[in-house]
Amino acid sequence: MLKLKQQGAIEVQSKVADEKEFNLDNTASSENIEITDDILTGQAFQFLSAGYDPLLIITMFVMHDLAQYPEVQERARNNVREVLEKHNGYSYACIQDMTYLEQCIQETLRIHPIITFLFRGCTKKYHLSEAGLVIEKGQKVVIPIGALQMDPKYYPNPEVYNPERFPPNVSKQNFTYLPFGDGPRFCIGFRYAMIVMKLGITKILSNYKLKLSPKNEVPMEFNKQSLLQIPKNPIWFNITPI
């Protein structure tokens, strides 16, 4: 955004589906948008406000999974300690180097995506040859994130928490892992979210051991009235200082 601010403005070209909205020369309309201080402030506010609840929920689920799998928790803790020692404290490079912790977050997002569906609109007629279906232009498409990410065809033993599914520097399976979406509509706050979650979880792992309390319900129930996939009841932890 700061680079765009230095440029002064960006040219936005919008190609609308309705031909009536096209210009007389049948080309898409375009306009210049000035990057003002208000736009910069608005983007920053959007990151902070829209990301607060989702990041809190995801962090809670990561803590739940690490508490449920103590061997994974210990490995993540060791990864954090080694990286902090290597970089002599926190920095952007240090956070990026916490690869195993990121694998844990990614696996948690596979099992517990806080948004279980994506909604898209078809922009042109498309044939699904294997299924023998045709999606017409203008039809709405529902993408079941939760079902895709728990499909054993893509993730063997999907109910098992296994961060090794996401080795560092290996691209995800094409459109079968969608907690932040994919393609042109990929979540713009993904990198910010990862940094914030890593920082928070790192502070916890560095100072405490996590264990699930017997007070928790098994299996976990979810709030069916919430837009986000959140537990119906609180998750309880037994936390021991290190």
Long-range residue pairs from 186-189, CB within 8 A, at least 24 positions apart, any chain:
189/47, 189/50, 189/51
Q: Is 104 annotated as a binding residue?
A: no
d(CA 215, CA 141): 40
Q: How would you write 187-217 as a 3-class SS string?
A: CCCHHHHHHHHHHHHHHHHHHEEEEECCCCC
- Cβ atoms of 64 and 111 within 8 Å: the answer is no
Per-residue tokens: 68: 């449920």
Contacts of 40 (CB under 8 A, 6+ apart): 1, 2, 5
Number of H helices, E strands in the chain: 7, 8
Summarize the annotated binding site for heme as residue ranges.
Answer: 187
